Structure 1
Amino acid sequence: MIGYRRAAEHGHREAQFQLAEFYYSGRGVPKDYHSAATWYRQAAEQDHLAAQVALGKLYYSGQGLTKDLSAAARWYQRAAEQGYQVAQTLLGQLYYAGEGVVKDDSTAAGWYRKAAEQGDREAQAALGMLYCAGEGVKQNDSSAQQWYRKAAENGHRAAHLWLGNLYYSDAGLSVDKASAARWLHRATDTLSAQGPIALGQFHCQGAGGVADYSQATDWFRRAAQLGHSDAQVWLARVYATGEGLARDYPQAAAWYLKAAERGHRVAQIELGKLYYAGLGVPKYYGRAAMWYRRAADQGHRQAQVELGKLYLVGEGVRKNDNKAALWFRKAAEREYSNAQFQLGHLYISGKGAPKHTGKAAHWYRKAAEQGHRDAQATLARLYAAGEGVPKDYIAGYMWANLAAAQGEESSGELREQLAQLMSIAQVADAQRLSREWKEGGSATSSNLLRTGTGFYVSDQGHVVSSDYAVKQCRKITIDDSPSELLFKDKASELVILQGPLPSGLATLSREPPRRGQYVTAVGYSLPVYRGSDLQATAGEIRALAGLYNESRYLQITAPVNPGNSGGPLLDASGNVVGVISARFKTTALAKATGSLPANVNFALKASLLRTFLERHNIDFHSRPLDRSRSAITVIDEAKIFTVLIRCYQ
């Protein structure tokens, strides 16, 4: 160390660099980023290439220096211009992200190519991504394949996965499932849990044209053994249901426990259920309550209801009606029908809340309108008796009729009793309302113009949707709560609505979309016919422009139905990469393409949404792509921030 210092103080640049390395790592001296920066700078100013890169990294991270992305870019460029491949890759990353320099995909591609041709695997993988997406270079799947292969053969872990996915999709290449499987298998040796997860999903989707759940289970097991919590939950569910494996509750409990201890909220509630029922573990209400609480604290609505039930009866916790009401209300306010039904019961009985039949009727109605059978039956009795609502035999008959149709026996008897008190015209009116409810999802839906989808982007309750979803509306509701139109942008066809305060927020992708990228479209497709459950459909980005090469749009293969309009298009991390647009009419597609393409839909690019939000000073969240997250997790999270929009005439 003394020798290095003496040489460094005499201007020896390699000694200066090594002394900086000692200070940066804390080897032989106390870790000191400021001293590291001092010696890196002295070496860098003598054109020590590695020192220039190291100094740039300190400026980028703000370690030992004031964070300065422009300074980072300058030092990277000094080394890059002298042919240093690491600097060329880092400079390419800055140009691609627009950090410290003006964003320029073409310049990024140029620096990536220089480094890639010298064998830098990070640059090779990045160049493959640019060719795949057509960013900074002309889109070319063959070139993407070439650079992905070079990166993979050079040891780039994720490139194995990307190359396998490229072979599996039909993005400009003939589908080659054998090659896809080969590269995905290689990914299992290099990507910890991500490779097995990819192969599990690959076999679920049909590696040879037919789904192979046995193979899928084997690969998910490998991912689970490597600690991937989503894979652990998947495997536990297979053991619990007996689908693909012999039912084995102890094994289910063991895998749920592994994921639950890592904070996976679905695993936590499922483990709680096993403890409550004594399946695979000893029956233990206290342990059930503990796991329910952990999931409930993370916002899992069903867990909040299950915990409330335990407080109501005193199983595993000290009986406390007030705490039961607290947990029921948390889930009820997020439109969970079971919680709304339970909260209605508390207002009827006066447990945990002052007795109030009017408020009870309010919560019963909210649950009933979501199709909750017992809530419909209870609401029918309230209308028949005039408790909490005006006495109304027609409404009572309608709700009894709906509950009876779902097999609630006492409602059939009530319906017949009410019919004896009603005129023929009143019975006919009640039956008509029943039919309209079934078709429209609400007893007052005859003036429902259309439904759409939206998603929360801010803590203040700002909801994004499409102009089509709220066009010509006299009244707008978000999950049955009144809403109003705040902002509208004709150019992007986007709108911002004011909704209730949210329980979760969507995040926008920080990365531009890529051709061939896996995406999920979520929304309330045709709720009139399918109920009010969130629908999710998977596909990929087919093109980075819409009809007539319209640059605002993405073309996607994910199926889209009426009602999806305004919903989020999510990447593999659950980040928003687009906003679903109302489906173009088949005739328009045929006119534009000369044929009737199957399964071609459109989404407005998230970059337009970002600009729209910034223009109106609305704060939003964004995050980078994380390919380790499963589709199950993405959809579970989407349920929290995605909302049903109803438009009334």
Structure 2
Amino acid sequence: MGKTISVRSGLVLLAALLPAGAAFAGWEEGQAAWERRDFAAAAAQYRPLADEGNAAAKARLGQILFFGLGGVPRDDAQALRLLSAAAEAGDPLGQHALGTAYLAGRGVPKDVAKGIEWLGRAAERGFPESLNALGELYFSGAGVPRDEARGVEYFRRAAEKGYPASLEKMAELRWNGRAVPIDRAQAVADARAAATAGRPVAQFILGVALLTGEGGAKNLPEAANWFRRAAERGHPQAAHNLGAMLASGNGLAANLPEGYFWLSVGAERAPANLKATYLRDRDGIASRLSPQDLAQARARLAAWKPVSSGSVGPAGGAERDAPPSASASPPEGKAPPPAVSGNGGRGRMATGTGFVVSRDGTVLTNAHVVESCRSISVTPADGQAIPATVQAKNSGDDLAALKTTLRLDDVARFRADRPLRSGDEVVVIGFPLSSLLSREANITAGVISAMAGLRGDARHYQITAPVQKGNSGGPLADMSGTVVGVVSSKLNAMKIAGQTGDIPQNINFAIKADIARRFLDDNSIRYETASAGPVGSAADVGERIKRVTVFIQCRLD
């Protein structure tokens, strides 16, 4: 369970410690360097301020050192000293950062209670990043007892402060009526604020509202505009909706080649349960294009890349692995700069889960986890990260096999005898919300709630076990510890709205083991099976399966 970091106040106590006039010399220069992402120059300005006792400078410098931003060498020990001092002085960024460190066990012994305490202190000061982080933790039950009502309260408080991620979450909940009463009008208001800030899921929600007229007036051209903005960031359902509108001339001028292009983007990035429908819609338009238009659209598609959305995670994919926000409080009377997310110079990262299926180190995961990766690494339990390469991939079934040099004492075994039934208990093992939580495998339990996925897709189980971004590609195990499926990315309910005009709730899916085994057979990858054995507890199953489960990191650029 980790948390994100930022700062706005806490400097009132410092004023008496710094000489008049020179107290904040260099602060504005440091802020300017931060805003242009010149972290080395920012560190040079913050360092003397930190030496003089400026808590905000300590927190900001600590962030730079903790993540090695801008090529500044990472120094966990010095970073933690600075962040601890800033936190003790009441600086929310320092408190938030220190809470994150304790939750992740990085630079300090892992201590969940201390992590929650420091995040809570920052949240008490109204620090939006901490409020949002606590909302994520309590709403999902990731590392703390699940309490959706408490999570919603944290989201609501952060949303009231204009925090885009929380506005987006409240829009989703209010539209769907999950954990809060349905309120489409307020959902649209929340979505508009988050969409304007660049949140692609909010942009999609707003597009759906304008397309259907729910929560306000219909406005098809504006709906298309918001679908386009989300589609440009790689949101598959938004791309599909935009393509359909262009192809049909619904709300804007018909343009078959442009419609085909966006339908293709949606089809390529679609989750497994929507893949066949999206491909069919795309191919239906392809048959109406001239060979020249088709060739031009396909060439454009081959060169297309989604627009970076900063710290916003990819819609429908694994959560981006970015360090906490590093906004910091300026001296009193100075307006705070926009929050900036750094990544230690590593580039954008996606993360997910996989599990070892063969003695030669082959790892099975979702295809979307390793989509567009420039490099991939896998980290086993109690091990070091090692490189991996894609050995085989089937985007239609959303499965991929990675070649690694792992040689573990054991491998995952697929259940070979009795079929599962609705109501059977299962366990999910994975690495959800990895930018917030520790890199220890997370174990959650649930049941098989349906023997088919969305629209009767027989390739999937529907499960009640909580699934978050980062669980993608992890094993679904029965209560004897044999693998019965591969967890899919959590399907955001909003993404179904483009097909139905409504947003369902609590949709979690896993690809059935027989589909995974067929994929392995098709690619001549050996694996092991076992009969279901004695039933154990979720803890027993998790203890065994997490030994063969790996954390996957994908460098996107």
TM-score normalised by the chain length of structure 1: 0.43
Name the structure where helix makes up a greater proportion of residues. Answer: 1
Please identify the structure whose Cα radius of gyration is greater: 1
Higher relative contact order (Cα pairs below 8 Å, separated by 6+ residues): 2
TM-score normalised by the chain length of structure 2: 0.49
